[in-house]
Structure 1
Amino acid sequence: MIRSYQTLLNRILILLDASVVALAFYLAWFLKFRSGLMDSTDSIGELGYVGIAIAMILVYLITNSIYGLYTPHRTRRLRSELTQIVKSSVTGVLILMSILFFIKEIHVSRAVLGMFMGLSVVFLSMERIGLRMVLRRMRSMGYNKKFMLIIGAGPLGRNVLKLITDNRQFGFEVLGFLDDRLYPVAETVDDVPILGTIDELETVLNSHLIDQVVLALPIEAHHKIGQIISLCEKMGIQALIIPDYFNYLPAKPKFEEVGGIPMIDVRHVPLDEAMNAGIKRIFDIGFSLAALLVLSPLLLIIAVGVKLTSPGPVLFAQERVGKNRRIFKMYKFRSMRVSTDESSDTQWTVENDPRRTKFGSFLRKTSLDELPQFFNVLKGDMSIIGPRPERPYFVEQFKEDIPKYMIKHRVRPGITGWAQINGWRGDTSIEERIKYDIHYIENWTFAMDLKIVWKTVVNGFVNKNAY
Structure 2
Amino acid sequence: MSILSRKAYIVLLLGDISILYVSVWFALSVRSFSLPSLENAIVHLVSFSLLFGVWFIVYFISGLYGRYTVLFRKQLPHIIFTAQAVNIGIAALFFFLIPIFLITPKTVLVLYLFISTVLLYFWRVHMYPHLLVRREIGAVLIGTGLELTELAEEVNKDPLYPLEFRAIIHPELSSSEEVKQTIQLLIESGEVTTIVADMSNHSLDDLLSFIYDITFVKHQAEFIDVRRLYQEIFERVPLSLIDYRWLLQYMSLDQKLVYSASKRSADIVASVIFGILSLALYPFIILAIKLEGTGSIFYVAQRVGLGGELFSFPKFRSMTGVDTDEEVLETKHTVTRVGALLRRTRLDELPQLWSVFKGDMSFIGPRPEFPALVDVYKKEIPYYNLRNLVKPGLSGWAQITHDNHAHHKADVDSTVEKLSYDLFYIKERSLWLDFYIAALTLKTILTKRGS
Instruction: Report the TM-score, using the length of structure 1 for normalisation.
Output: 0.54
In terms of fraction of residues, the more helix-rich structure is 2
How far residue 23 of structure 1 moved from its aligned partner, in angstroms, is 2.7
The partner residue of 1:196 within 171, 175, 181 is 181
Equivalent in the alignment of 2:216:
230
Equivalent in the alignment of 1:398:
377
Unmatched tracts of structure 2, length 5 or more: 54-63, 85-99, 238-247, 426-432
- The 8 Å contact of residues 365 and 393 in structure 2, kept in 1 or not, is answered as yes
Name which structure has the greater RCO, CA cutoff 8 Å, separation 6+: 2
Cα RMSD for the two superposed structures: 6.3
- The 8 Å contact of residues 215 and 241 in structure 1, kept in 2 or not, is answered as yes
Unmatched tracts of structure 1, length 5 or more: 1-5, 60-68, 90-105, 187-193, 254-262, 354-359, 462-467
> Take 1:120 and 1:208, find their aligned partners in 2: how far apart are those partners?
44
The partner residue of 1:127 within 123, 140, 145 is 123
Residues 382 and 374 of structure 1: is their aligned pair in 2 closer, same or farther, counting only changes over 3 Å? farther
Residues 228 and 73 of structure 1: is their aligned pair in 2 closer, same or farther, counting only changes over 3 Å? farther
Matched, 1:155 2:151: no
Instruction: Report the TM-score, using the length of structure 2 for normalisation.
Output: 0.55
How far residue 177 of structure 1 moved from its aligned partner, in angstroms, is 5.3
Residues 389 and 335 of structure 1: is their aligned pair in 2 closer, same or farther, counting only changes over 3 Å? same
Correspondence list, 1:388-427, <5 A: 388-409=367-388, 410-414=390-394, 417-418=399-400, 422=404, 424-427=406-409
Equivalent in the alignment of 2:443:
451
> Take 2:259 and 2:404, find their aligned partners in 1: how far apart are those partners?
25
Residues 180 and 452 of structure 1: is their aligned pair in 2 closer, same or farther, counting only changes over 3 Å? closer
Residues 367 and 174 of structure 1: is their aligned pair in 2 closer, same or farther, counting only changes over 3 Å? same
Correspondence list, 1:232-381, <5 A: 239-242=222-225, 251=235, 265-266=250-251, 285-300=272-287, 302=289, 315-332=298-315, 344-348=324-328, 350=330, 362=336, 366=340, 373-380=349-356, 381=360
Correspondence list, 1:98-113, <5 A: none
Matched, 1:27 2:53: no
SS in 2 for 1:345: coil
> Take 2:369 and 2:69, find their aligned partners in 1: how far apart are those partners?
41
> Take 1:125 and 1:338, find their aligned partners in 2: how far apart are those partners?
47
> Take 2:20 and 2:315, find their aligned partners in 1: how far apart are those partners?
52
- The 8 Å contact of residues 148 and 176 in structure 1, kept in 2 or not, is answered as no
Aligned residues: 372
Residues 367 and 80 of structure 1: is their aligned pair in 2 closer, same or farther, counting only changes over 3 Å? closer
> Take 1:372 and 1:13, find their aligned partners in 2: how far apart are those partners?
39
- The 8 Å contact of residues 289 and 338 in structure 2, kept in 1 or not, is answered as no
How far residue 127 of structure 1 moved from its aligned partner, in angstroms, is 0.7
How far residue 299 of structure 1 moved from its aligned partner, in angstroms, is 0.8
Q: Structure 1 counterpart of 2:235, which letter? A: A
> Take 1:214 and 1:74, find their aligned partners in 2: how far apart are those partners?
19
> Matched residues, percent identical?
17
Is the radius of gyration larger for structure 1 or structure 2? 1
Residues 209 and 224 of structure 1: is their aligned pair in 2 closer, same or farther, counting only changes over 3 Å? closer
> Take 1:361 and 1:399, find their aligned partners in 2: how far apart are those partners?
28
Q: Deviations over 1:58-86 (max 9, x none)?
A: x9xxxxxxxxx99x98989649999xx99
Matched, 1:164 2:152: yes
How far residue 130 of structure 1 moved from its aligned partner, in angstroms, is 0.3
SS in 2 for 1:348: helix
Equivalent in the alignment of 2:39:
45
